Amino acid sequence: MFVRSESDSEMTGGAGGRASVAAPQVFTAKFRRRFSDFDVMPDLGSRIGSLTWYRGAATCIGLCAFTLLLAPGFENPIYGTVPPKMTGAQFDATRAQSIRPLGMGGTTGYRVAASRLVTPLTDTPERPILQSTAKLASGEALLGVLQRSGVGKGDASAVGALITKAVALGEIQPGTMLDLTLGRRADKSQPRPLEKLELRARFDLKLEVARSGGTLSLKEIPIAIDRTPLRIQGTIGGSLYRSARAAGAPAKAVETYIKTLASRVPVSRLGSGCKFDIIIGQARAETGEVQLGNLMYAGVSGCANNVQMLPYESGGKVEWYDSSGKGNTTGMMGMPANGRFSSSFGMRRHPILGYARMHKGVDIAAPWGSPVYAAADGVVQVAGRSSGYGNLIRLSHGGGNGSGYGHLSRIYVRPGQHVRKGQQIGAVGNTGMSTGPHLHYEWYKNGVAVNPRSISFSSTKQLTGGDLSQFRAKLNAMLAVPVGHGLERDED
């Protein structure tokens, strides 16, 4: 394309010609021919100080000044066009289609923006049926729980009235679950109508309240209960408690079992080869639930200390008896007050009267007002003022035994009242012939005062006659309970 003419071989920049740009070439050529010695760009390094040099320097300065004047400067930045920040639907739409690494917190695809086909609703639709469960803190809280679950006041009280027909609200166990089904309502300002309510009112009774034809009706569904007791046997091994627990006996029953055994055999010395035998009350519902009750039989077999114990009611009192009909040994005398013995039984010089006199009891020094307990079970014979004794209580314990408590500051019992061993009957005082707060404590055997510290007063109940044969029959029935119900339960 670029053809240099053969004739025009001068190297004076751009002087070579192309036919199309002939005009400037002609102009520069003419200029050069006319001012052959005019140098547009003199060398500022040579002939310094000459006219040409000054002209060159002026041209250079002029060009530099012109360039500086055209320069935009550094203090005023030049802005390019920046797109505005996206917000709202535009941002959502862009983000939904964008890709960003998850490691940098990309939310790609989290939310897809609504397209033009989407129109907002004026009202959200409701579920036609609402099912929920609620837990009762107590039966009495039923109405409140129903209303909190969205049942209307009218429906709730109707349900309350229906359920009361079958079972008292107080009888319903705390923690009972309510299964509620609420139906469709006409508008949102109204509570939903109750369609169905189910609850286990008792272990053996399920209640169902359902709406049919606009009114609620109650259906009672009895649940069959099998009350065969649970019998658990096993080797005692290293620890009776742990072995019995491992075999499936509940903690409370094992504790009662050990306590019951302890009244007859040294539990800690039972050989590891001995077998424990426990029978516990049990209720098994057909729906699968199991409730374990109280200990019904406590036994040890297979070693020297064989024991068979059963609770039996005799004389209005339930007690544990062993296979020979022997009850617990009771009546070991208790201390009537907490304190030290300050004066003993026998002849002594009376601290107030000054002469030797029989001291018919023992004195226990204790602070004024501290409690005085009945030393054994008995009936109050005397409760009131009695000259030298001050405020006095006398108890009769049966079998010719009696006890007396003198110098009391307070009396909490009345004559004829039955008291139990360890029950508080009065308070230590300083009434009557006394030199300071203490309890004067007497014991009578067939009307004669004896030293309370010398007697060991105990009795063992023994079943006889009809009681004994009834007890034996009960024991045999209990021993016929099959073993291993508890293990079956685990396999269910």
> Cα 111 vs. chain centroid, distance in angstroms?
39
Binding region for Zn ion (CB under 5 A) out of 62-70, 376-384, 436-444, 475-483: 436-444
Q: Which residues contact 243 (CB under 8 A, 6 or more apart)?
A: 234, 235, 236, 237, 276
Q: Is 277 in the site for Zn ion (CB under 5 A)?
A: no
The least CB distance from residue 439 to Zn ion, in Å, is: 8
Touching Zn ion, residues 361-400 (CB under 5 A): 363
Alpha carbon distance 255, 294 (integer Å) = 11
10 Å CB burial of residue 107 (0-12, 13-18, 19+) is exposed
Stretch that binds Zn ion, among 280-288, 358-366, 395-403, 475-483 (CB under 5 A): 358-366
The DSSP symbol for 125 reads: P
Among 443, 412, 176, which Cα is nearest to 335's? 443
Smallest gap from residue 483 Cβ to Zn ion (A): 59
**CB-wise, 139 or 361, nearer to Zn ion?**
361
442 forms part of the interface with Zn ion (CB under 5 A):
no
Q: Does 440 bind Zn ion (CB under 5 A)?
A: yes
Helix and strand tally (H, E) in the chain? 9, 25
Nearer CB in complex with Zn ion: 264/440: 440
CB of residue 238 vs Zn ion: minimum separation in angstroms?
Answer: 53
Smallest gap, in angstroms, from Cβ of residue 406 to Zn ion?
Answer: 7
Number of residues that bind Zn ion (CB under 5 A): 2
Question: Which one of the spans 154-162, 233-241, 376-384, 434-442 is the region binding Zn ion (CB under 5 A)?
Answer: 434-442
- Nearest CB to Zn ion, comparing residues 167 and 449: 449
Residue 455 Cβ, how far from Zn ion at the closest point, in Å? 17
Q: Work out how close the CB of 402 gets to Zn ion at its nearest, in angstroms, rounded to a whole number.
A: 16
Q: What 3-state DSSP class applies to 323? A: coil
439 lines the binding site for Zn ion (CB under 5 A): no
308-331 burial, b if ≥16 CB within 10 A, otherwise e?
Answer: bbbbbebeeeeebbbbebebbeeb
- Tell me whether residue 441 or residue 471 sits nearer to Zn ion (CB atom): 441
- Find the shortest distance in angstroms from Cβ 407 to Zn ion: 7
Contact between 195 and Zn ion (CB under 5 A)?
no
In order, the DSSP letters of 136-200 are: -SSGGGHHHHHHHTT--HHHHHHHHHHHHHHS-GGGSPTT-EEEEEE---SSTTSPPPEEEEEEE
CA separation for the pair 373, 164 (Å, rounded): 46
| Interaction site with Zn ion (CB under 5 A) | 363, 440
